[in-house]
Structure 1
């Protein structure tokens, strides 16, 4: 955390002077990225390399892409009002949930376990 704070303050001093608010955002993003890499390295040295569920991540990415296509297709013909935007968000959430439920047996098992409880 000390590395993150020092890096963030240092980068902010330089980048805010040069680029204003964009510099602050970039300084925070760079500091956060470095912090994630350092924390990840430290964690793997302590507990070992964690198993990454690539298949489940693939299901989530696929469900996200399906949701994106549906939301993007609806965005064009719908009026740009708060009500329609909220409706589009709700449709997107429903599409994501249904797609993930259909793709992932792990999610199906968890949902059916919750429903039966």
Structure 2
């Protein structure tokens, strides 16, 4: 399971740590659109994840380019959410944006895992 733990708040944007198998990565959520990702449980669409230089600049930073789709378990009012590098201006439209300094390290850990071992759920707290 992924865990995103919010550790700070600045208006509609939170800062925090995204954990994958015990390793933590600096991240942000919100600041634009409908703001931060609400607390709760989310499904991770492992097979829908994409990576590569063809992605837009908002999904590229720190030598990594990827998007891992997520969906709230019960609230369908927000769509298009995911985990990606925090490219462009700091902040997201509600996604979890991994800091450029951690993005490549995160992607390396994610891609080193067999697809069947990648987490299929995300818990957001804070």
TM-score w.r.t. length of structure 2:
0.19
Structure showing the higher strand proportion among its residues: 2
Q: Which has the higher contact order (CA 8 A, sep 6+)?
A: 2
> Whose radius of gyration is greater, 1 or 2?
1
TM-score w.r.t. length of structure 1:
0.20
